[in-house]
Structure formats: C-alpha cells, structure tokens
Structure 1
Amino acid sequence: MIVLKNLTLRRGAKVVLEDVDLTIHAGEKASVVGRNGAGKSSLFALLTGQLLPDAGDASIPPGWRIAEVAQSMPETTDSATDFVLQGDQALMEAQAALAAAEAGGDGDAIAEAHQRIQDAGGFDARPRAQALLLGLGFRGDQLDRPVNSFSGGWRMRLQLARALMCPADLLLLDEPTNHLDLDALVWLESWLKRFEGTLLVISHDREFLDAVTRVTVHLEDGKLTRYGGNYSAFETLRAERLAQQQAAYERQQERIAQLQRFIDRFKAKATKARQAQSRVKALERMEKLAPVLTSSDFSFEFREPASLPNPMLSLKGVACGYPAATPGGAPAVIVHDVNRTVLAGQRIGILGANGQGKSTLVKTIARVLAPIDGQLTEGKGLAIGYFAQQEMDVLRPDENPLQHLIRLAKEVSPQAREQELRDFLGGFRFIGDMAQQSVGSMSGGEKARLVLAMLVWQRPNLLLLDEPTNHLDLTTREALSMALNEFEGTVMLVSHDRALLREVCDEFWLVAKGRVEPFDGDLDDYQRWLLEQARLQREALARGDSPASGAAQESGANRRDERRAQAQARQRLAEQAKPIKKALAAVEADVARLTEEKQALEQALAGGGLSPAELADHGRRLKAVSEALEAAETRWLELADQLEALGAS
C-alpha cells in the first residue's frame, strides 16, 4: 500500500504538502481532487520519484510497477500499434532477450526467453494493443500509421494507450479525459472498472470519478484529507464537515465575545481583577478555530437575449465540410443532407465519435465554414455565441483580456467605459494585473473563462458550445451548468462531460456515418449503444478480422446496413429498458407511499391517546405496511440490478 507519514513537500517557496498522512490500500481506486494549482500533479511526481519529500516519509512497495501517461508528444515513425506495445516493459525485455539468444545461438536462452514472452502475454499482445487503440477512438486503418502522422490530441491518446498497456500495480492518470470524446471516455471508464491494480486519477469530470473511484483524496491548503466514497459522496461529506466547522467557529466566537465582555467590564475592579486576569489567559490559550474561508465560488449568468427568433435557424439539404484544397478540386464533405430545424429554447446535445463531423457541423452553423451545399436559413435577429473547441480560434495570443473586451465593446456596446469592462472581467476572476496579461501566457482554464466572458458580453440568443469544459475545474463547470440552465435562449452543446449534458440537454442529435439524425433515447441509452459497438469491435479483432481492410472495402450499401443495425440495436435496448424503467418508477412510488404511511402510524402510536382497539388496529397495520415496504424495497433492488445489467450487457 501507499503510505505518506508526516510528509512535507515544497516547490520552491511554495508549500505543496505540509505534515500530511495518507494511506491508499492495494487495489483501491482513488481520485485526487482540489483546485487548479493546489499541487495534485506534484503529488503524482512525488509518487513516481521525480520529487523527493522535504520532510517525512513516502513509501510504496518496492516491487510495484508504476504506469503513468507521459506528457511529452512522441516523435517517432513507429506504427501506432508498435508504439503502444512498447508500453509493456516486461514484454519488451523478453523480446530483446529472445533476439540476443537467437543471435548467439543459445538454445537454453531461447527457450527461456520464449517462456518469458508467454508469461508476459506476448502471443496475444498485438491484438490487446489494437483493442486499446480502437477503444480510444482510433479507426482500423490508423493502427499501422506512423505516430508522427497524428495530431497532438491523438498522440496524447497514444500515450494513454501505452500506459494502459503496461501491466501496472499502480496506475497514475492525470486528466486522462481531456483529449477524449464521449465514445472513448465511456470505453476508458469501462476498462478502468476492470483494472485490478491501484488507481490514482486526477480529473474534473464528475461522472467519470463517480463511476470509477471509491475513495476521494482532497488536497487543500497543503493538507490531504481522505474520504470514503466517490466524488458525489465526498461533496456531501465535505459539506457536512464544513457545516460542523462553521458551527464550532461560531460557538467559539460567542465564547470569545463573552470572555471579552467580562474582561472589559471588570478588569479595573480590584474585587474582580483576579477573575478578569484568568479570563485574559483563557482567551490567549483558547485555540483559534479558523473560520470556514473557502475560495469564493465562481458564478456568472448570461444576459437576457434582446430577441428570440423562432425558428432560430433551418437547415435543408445542407452539406458541411471544407473547401477544395486546390483550385478546381472537389470540396471535402464531412456530413451531408442535413435537414434539421432549431427552435427557440431548445437544449440540444450533439453526440458522435471523434472525426464524425460534430465540430464541422457547429462551425457551419457558427458561420466559420460556409455550407458546401443546401440552404441554411437564419431567423431574424439571430445572435450567435460560439465557444470553439480550441480557444485560440477566437482569441488573440498577443492581446490581453481587456483588449479583447474593448474590441467587443466597439462592436456590441460602443458606450462602454474601460472601468466598466474591468469590473466585468473581475466577475470572471480577471482581477488587477490579470486583465493586462497576454492571452498566450494564460492557462487553459483562464483562456476558457475569457471566452465565456466574451460570450456573455455579446448577449447571444443561440449558444454553440464545442467542448467548453476541456480546461475548466469542477467549480467553473458547475457555474457553467447553472448559467446554461438559466439561459433563456437556445443551446447546442458538444461535450464529453456527461454531467453537463445531463443537466443541460433535453434532446440529442447523433452525427455518424456522414449524417445528422435525432437520437431516440437518453444519455444512458447512448452509453449502452457505445459499449455494444466496442464489444462488437473487440470480437471482430479477436476473430482476426482486419479493421484496416474492412474500412477500406466498406461500400455505401454496407454503411447503410450498419446504420440500420445500429438503429435496431438502440431501439432494442430502449425497448428492453422501457418496461423495467416503468416498473421501477411504480415501485419507487409505492416505497414513498408506504414510507409515509409507516411514519404516520409510528407517530400515532408514539403520541398516545389511542384506545386499545385503535392500538391493536394500528399495530396490525404497521406490521403489514412494514412487510409491504420491505418487499417493495427488495423489488426495487431487483429492478435496479436488471437495469444495470442491461446497461453493462
């Protein structure tokens, strides 16, 4: 197990950890949470030996294999599959031993090396590596592409797959979801649930942490506090602890005031001087409980739109893509024949695997890309607020936040004064010199907050948000969710943050195979469908099917068949879940009714004033209600298990 004892860690003049104790048992899956800059990544560096404690001890079992995601961008011509295979160090060493033994003609060493390769799972390692890549969103025809042909985000997925390939005793994941879409995130979540080693993960994705972890380590003000339970349980427990701390502080303040009043009243009186002096000493000795001073919660709201056109916009036969790369060439169409209408007040979540065209669709609606074909009609008075997946698409690195707002004010509100703009930026935590800091030197979270500030200033009636939470901490994500729910206009949201999708969206579009269609189901239905697709992909790989050749030979008819099969699979899952959900709702109503009746009977029996006949009648009824309630609760658990099993099938 991992044990930190009386440990202090400094980074320069900053104290990251101060006299902390922590134990993580083997096999536990724990999250490390805390505000940005609190020192979570420094804790990981300590565990991997990159940093040494300034005081105290940190112990990890010496035989443990530790895997983490390298933050450097790999530059190599090795294929994606080979790069991931190299993450299994034991297998690499066994293969190197085999090569050396074969070169030397040593039969015994060759046999031993073959045994080591077998022990390391070498004979099915390549399919396992490719299964990791497919699960993280790579296509079959990308498995043998050289690493240096991929973009930065995809190379980080390669580093993640390489870390997962390592048979680790301790797996450290620092923001593993940042470069993943929802499909890959659901797959990773399922994989980590099956992981048998010890896991420590840093993430700002609430649902991911709730699903994967059962221990939460909170880092705040240089202290580590361990909570049993996932992130939601941690929030509840911490809120209770803060409330207790606040109550203790308030009680102490009352006691201090009482002592001070006695001292002030009697310190000049000879007859009371001794008692007054004793109270002065008591006041000095009294432990000063720190008031509950958490960092101020961040919140904002979108201003009321000037108008709400209805419909907001209409797409008829629209093709989205990119213009021809060369004169006279054909444009690259990503999605085609889009026929959708966006109404005032809609909350639309846009789902689909990475590369299917979600961002292309959003950019087309945002006027960043012109439609290649078809008709896109905007409602009169449409005002679009666009949050690009890459913040620098809408920001200028050499300008500061104030300059961005001044430019916006000239377009939206010519009468705005500089102080008004500074006050506005202060509401988004750009205070003092930060308003003059160049955007290029800011963190990802600061850039995201600046884009949000610019959106609010523009007073839009249609928000197009493409992965707005990538660099936001949990507090800011909560603020965004609340602001979107209070927003009176229309929201179109692309996000891998399922908590945000659940809280904001009430309908979904699916972008897949070049089409945009409504998704008939909720987010749970979509996750079940994704897991089913991942299972089919793994089975195809295990049968030895070549994903690359299959992708190359797939015809239009095959794609139509696949879409039809996918739709049927979604419909089948939805139909299977529907009666279970209906029965579950009915049982929940019974449990609520029986609980209320039981409480009323117990209160009546406890209150007295009943005749013997009434006492007997109430007793019999209480017994019957208690038995019915127990049966209903048992039935609820059975139905919940059925629904969970259906989701995991």
Structure 2
Amino acid sequence: MLQLRHLTIRHQKTSADLVYDLSISIQKGDKVAIIGEEGMGKSTLLSYLYNPKSINHYALADGEMSNQFRHISYLPQELPEKEKAKNCFSYLYDDSNQAAFDFNRCFQLAHELGFAHSHFDSQQTIGSLSGGEKLKLQLIKLLAAPSDLLLLDEPANDLDLESLQWLQDFIQKSNQTVIFISHDEQLLSETANKIIHLERYKKKKQTVTHTEKSSYLSYKTKRDKQFLKQSLLAKKERQERTVKAAKLRRSQSAVRHALSQTRNDVEGRLLAKKMKTLKAQERRFDRETKSKKTMPYQADIINIAFSDVQPLPAGKALLHYEQKMLQLPQAERKIPIRLTVRGQDKLAITGRNGVGKTSLLKLIYQELNEKNTAFSVGLMPQNYDDCWNGRETVIEFCGRTHQKEQALTYLASLQFSYEEIYQPINRLSGGQKAKLLLLQMLLNQNNILLLDEPTRSFSPTSQAQIRQMLWHYPGCIISVSHDRIYMQQVPQVLYELTETGLKRL
C-alpha cells in the first residue's frame, strides 16, 4: 500500500505549487491515472513517488508518504542522453540485476511487442531507434524484472496500434499496482480505476488537486456535468444581476430627474432620502455581486481556430507518387510509395514502429517545400525541439515574423501564463511546445499541415478540442498517428505503411 497525506510540492524558483494538499491511499492492484494540463507537475509527482530526492534540485515537498511496496520500477518520460548513447546490448544487460532479470521474459516481451530480437545483440545506439522502438526497449527492460509497483510516465507515447492494445491488456490484467501518466483517452478509459487530477485556476496562480475513485470516463462525465451546471447557474445569476442593475439605474435616474425639477422643500427632502436608500441598495448589490458565482474556469480550454486559412482548391494535386522509393535511415532497404494528395485531403498514416512513417513525412515535407508554389506548409515533427533555439523565449519565437500584440492575444487564448510567455522554450512541457507549434501554424496561415503524432502531448481533457479544431481545418492535413480516437474522427482516409508499401485501409 502507498499512502500520501497532505502532500504539497512547490517549485523552488517560482514558489508555485505543483501539487497541493494531495491525500490518497493506493492499494495493491490499483490502476491510478495522473492527469492534468501541460506543465502542471504530473511527471514531478511520479518522480517523487519513485525517489523523493529526485526533485530536490528544483522543488520542495511537504507532507507524508508511506510506501509499503518493496520493488518499484519507473519508466521516465524521456531517456537520459547518456542512455541514448548506449547500444541496445549495453542498455539491456550492463546494469541489469542478473539474478532478478528474467531473460526468458525479456524475449517473450520482445515477441509480444513486435520488437526484433536482433536488436538485443546490436551495436545500434538507442538514440537512432524510432520513438516507438525506444519505448518498447524500455518497457522490455522494465517488465523483465520483478516489481510490485509500476510507475509509468507516458507509456503509450509513440507505440504502434498493436503495442498499444498489448499495453492496455497488460495494465488491465496485471496484479501489479500501476500509477501512470497518459494522454491516450482510450487507454485511460479502459484501465484506470482511480484518478489524480492536477489543475491550476486563477491564471495558474491557484493549484487544486482532485482525487476520485472511479473510471476515467465516469470522472470526465461527472466533471462535464458539474461544469455545465455551474455555467448555467452563473449565467442565470448574471442575467438576474443585469436586470436588477438596470432597474436600480432607472430608479436612480428618475429620482435624480425629480430632484432637479422640484421646487418644494418637503418633496425635495423626501426625494433625497429616497436617493440615499437607492445608493445603499446599490452598495449592497455591489457586495452581493462579488460573492456571486462567476463562470467556471476551464484550464484545458483551447480558444483558437484556423478560420482565416485560405484553403487550396479541393482538386489541386499537391503530391503524386507513382513508385517513389523511400530510403530508410539505418537500413539498406527501400519502400515503394504510391500516393496522391489533393488540396483539402485529410489523411493519416499508421504502421508498426520503425517501419518508416516519420521518414515518409519528412520526405513529403521536403518535396512540398521544394515546390515554389502558392501554398504554405506547417510542420509538427516528432521532436519539437527541431523547430527552435530552445534558449529563446516564447514571445521571441512568436515575434520573429508576427506582431507581438497579436501573438500575446493568441498565447492568452492557449492558457499561457505571463511567466511562461517570457521564459525559454526549453523549459516548457511537451504539451506547451505542441501548443506553440499550433500557434505558429495559425499565425503563418499554413494551408497544408504535416503532423507527426499531433495529439500525443495534449492533456486528455483537451484532446477533444484538438480533434475538433483539426476536423474543421479547411486545408490539407497529412498526419502520422497511433491515436485510435483521432483516427476515427479526423482523417477522411487511413493508410498503413508496411515493408512492402503504402496501402489504403
């Protein structure tokens, strides 16, 4: 069992609460999902649960933690650079506890996850693997050793569809306690039985931590109903206040007019007394207004739309590959590609990890940019940091080619705080970086979007808005995705990339 009592984690530099007054009891076999908007402290909390000292260089923790689990395994969101420099053999075996490490389980996991056994003896560096292959290798090493508590930070990111289903089944059926962070709504819906939700209100100044013993769908439905109820109540009270304020103003105006017209001292004194009463009512009304409900705040709202983008003609051919050969990095083989893309197509490409989806997207981006025609291409790569100098601030990046005032308006719509706007990009969370790339595409009015896993970094509570925004996008979208809900709702056409080519599903 793991118990937290009144745990608060505060950032040392900004003094902002990342976690506030969290109390929860986690039992054997529980599947606990930590959710929240980008940059809210989810990874910090998970790291603290693994090793309280791991956050000492940037955060302070106050409260109690009682942990009776004996064997804890931790999957970080990002492999350290020194680990990426290792080859697969060294990473898997050099620092493993040989007595505890189950080599048979290791090969079984590789088979179940579709990870080639040949990688185990390979000198290929981990950094050269695809995102999904890196994650599979980490999971294999983690799960081949005994543990009674699994801490998983974004275990679904970059996994192909078959591996996602495997992970979902594993978490569902495992006797181990699992505490995990994920942006995959379907994974959350099918596995979690307890929720920890980290939020910040009042322009990210006030931290609130919610816990709920329920499934993700039940929790989300309950929250949506509460928000709707609060919104309707606040709207009703606002309308009533508007009517009451107008009536009070009319009464004061009538008395003021009568006072200016009267020549009778007695009548004048009565009118003055009445005005005094109305002023007292006005002050009481102002006090009551401050205590009334305001419209509830949605930390996960995304208030932008590509409404000003000028779409290309629907029949305009942007790409036509009849037998284009796709050369893969770290491989001698080539894949023949047949593909035609037109001006308002929305398509998604899926396929197993390492097959070459990101390479294909890069090839398409390069060729579209080489065509000096009247269209504008926006790119969201798998590695966001390829797009900027991480030392420049958010507003400096946005202000390269656009007016500062316009950029500030959009940044506020995306829930960027003042501090975040003026801090270096390399300090942002993955979700905040993804928002920044969307904003760049909006400001540039790109009429073609190339998106590599567009939903993977967004909070599950805001993904529905992302899907709706992309569904309404008037231009062309070419995306790579393993997000099952995204693929159901956004693209018009699905393709699968295999070793033999690109086939339409």
- The normalised TM-score by structure 2 is 0.74
Q: 2:171 aligns with which of 183, 192, 201?
A: 192
Q: 1:39 aligns with which of 38, 41, 63?
A: 41
1:197-246, Cα deviation, whole Å (9 max, x unpaired): 11111111111211222332223354443334432222111122334555
SS in structure 1 opposite 2:497? strand
Q: Deviation at 1:515?
A: 1.0
Q: 2:103 aligned with 1:126, yes or no?
A: yes
1:574-619, Cα deviation, whole Å (9 max, x unpaired): xxxxxxxxxxxxxxxxxxxxxxxxxxxxxxxxxxxxxxxxxxxxxx
Superposition RMSD on alpha carbons, in Å? 4.5
Equivalent residue number for residue 144 of structure 1: 121
**Cα separation, partners in 2 of 1:36 and 1:364, compared to 1, 3 Å:** closer
Q: Deviation at 1:139?
A: 1.8
SS in structure 1 opposite 2:322? strand
- Alignment partners' CA distance in 2, 1:9 and 1:396: 30
1:517-532 alignment, distance < 5 Å: 517-519=503-505
Q: 2:292 aligned with 1:315, yes or no?
A: no
Residues 36 and 198 in structure 2, CA contact (< 8 A), matched pair in contact too: yes
SS in structure 1 opposite 2:344? coil
**Cα separation, partners in 2 of 1:369 and 1:513, compared to 1, 3 Å:** farther
1:99-498 alignment, distance < 5 Å: 125-146=102-123, 148=125, 150-151=127-128, 153=131, 154-155=133-134, 157-221=136-200, 222-244=207-229, 292-295=296-299, 297-302=301-306, 303-308=308-313, 309-321=315-327, 334-336=334-336, 338-367=337-366, 381-397=374-390, 399-401=392-394, 404-405=397-398, 408=401, 417-429=403-415, 437-498=423-484
Q: Which AA in structure 1 matches 2:362?
A: K
Q: Which AA in structure 2 matches 1:58?
A: M
**Cα separation, partners in 2 of 1:433 and 1:199, compared to 1, 3 Å:** closer
- Alignment partners' CA distance in 2, 1:63 and 1:421: 48
1:278-303, Cα deviation, whole Å (9 max, x unpaired): xx9xx99x998786333361132223
Residues 352 and 358 in structure 1, CA contact (< 8 A), matched pair in contact too: yes
SS in structure 1 opposite 2:446? coil
1:557-576 alignment, distance < 5 Å: none
- Alignment partners' CA distance in 2, 1:187 and 1:17: 31
Mean alpha-carbon deviation: is it higher for 438-447 or for 188-197?
A: 438-447
- Alignment partners' CA distance in 2, 1:189 and 1:366: 33
- Alignment partners' CA distance in 1, 2:220 and 2:142: 30
1:63-106, Cα deviation, whole Å (9 max, x unpaired): 542221255355499874675478985xx4xx3xxxxxxxxxxx
SS in structure 1 opposite 2:115? coil
Q: Which AA in structure 2 matches 1:455?
A: M
**Cα separation, partners in 2 of 1:499 and 1:369, compared to 1, 3 Å:** same
Residues 189 and 211 in structure 1, CA contact (< 8 A), matched pair in contact too: yes
- Alignment partners' CA distance in 2, 1:399 and 1:78: 30
- Alignment partners' CA distance in 2, 1:236 and 1:87: 45
- Alignment partners' CA distance in 1, 2:446 and 2:61: 52
Q: Deviation at 1:352?
A: 1.0
Q: Deviation at 1:517?
A: 1.5
Q: Which AA in structure 1 matches 2:4?
A: L
Q: Which has the higher strand share?
A: 2
**Cα separation, partners in 2 of 1:250 and 1:445, compared to 1, 3 Å:** closer
Q: Which AA in structure 1 matches 2:443?
A: W
Q: Which AA in structure 2 matches 1:320?
A: L
- Alignment partners' CA distance in 2, 1:432 and 1:18: 21
**Cα separation, partners in 2 of 1:47 and 1:514, compared to 1, 3 Å:** same
- Alignment partners' CA distance in 2, 1:34 and 1:317: 45
Q: Which AA in structure 2 matches 1:353?
A: R
Equivalent residue number for residue 50 of structure 1: 52
Equivalent residue number for residue 563 of structure 1: none
Q: Deviation at 1:431?
A: 6.6
**Cα separation, partners in 2 of 1:249 and 1:65, compared to 1, 3 Å:** farther
Q: 2:496 aligned with 1:506, yes or no?
A: no
- Alignment partners' CA distance in 1, 2:107 and 2:326: 31
SS in structure 2 opposite 1:130? helix
Larger Rg: 1
Equivalent residue number for residue 27 of structure 1: 29
Residues 81 and 130 in structure 1, CA contact (< 8 A), matched pair in contact too: no
Residues 7 and 56 in structure 1, CA contact (< 8 A), matched pair in contact too: yes
**Cα separation, partners in 2 of 1:230 and 1:290, compared to 1, 3 Å:** same
1:7-22 alignment, distance < 5 Å: 7-12=7-12, 13-22=15-24
- Alignment partners' CA distance in 2, 1:513 and 1:446: 34
**Cα separation, partners in 2 of 1:85 and 1:236, compared to 1, 3 Å:** farther
Q: Which has the higher helix share?
A: 1
Q: Which AA in structure 2 matches 1:72?
A: P
1:262-289, Cα deviation, whole Å (9 max, x unpaired): xxxxxxx9xxxxxx9xxx9xx99x9987
Q: 1:72 aligns with which of 46, 66, 80?
A: 80
Equivalent residue number for residue 270 of structure 2: none
- Alignment partners' CA distance in 2, 1:226 and 1:434: 27
**Cα separation, partners in 2 of 1:306 and 1:174, compared to 1, 3 Å:** closer
- Alignment partners' CA distance in 2, 1:87 and 1:210: 35
- Alignment partners' CA distance in 2, 1:193 and 1:223: 29
Equivalent residue number for residue 259 of structure 2: none
Q: Which AA in structure 2 matches 1:304?
A: V
**Cα separation, partners in 2 of 1:36 and 1:422, compared to 1, 3 Å:** closer
Structure 1, unaligned runs of 5 or more: 96-119, 262-268, 270-275, 326-330, 372-377, 410-416, 520-649
- Alignment partners' CA distance in 2, 1:315 and 1:29: 46
**Cα separation, partners in 2 of 1:213 and 1:63, compared to 1, 3 Å:** closer
SS in structure 2 opposite 1:366? helix
The number of residue pairs the alignment matches comes to: 455
Residues 81 and 129 in structure 1, CA contact (< 8 A), matched pair in contact too: no
- Alignment partners' CA distance in 2, 1:424 and 1:255: 32
- Alignment partners' CA distance in 2, 1:509 and 1:389: 19
- Alignment partners' CA distance in 2, 1:432 and 1:407: 19
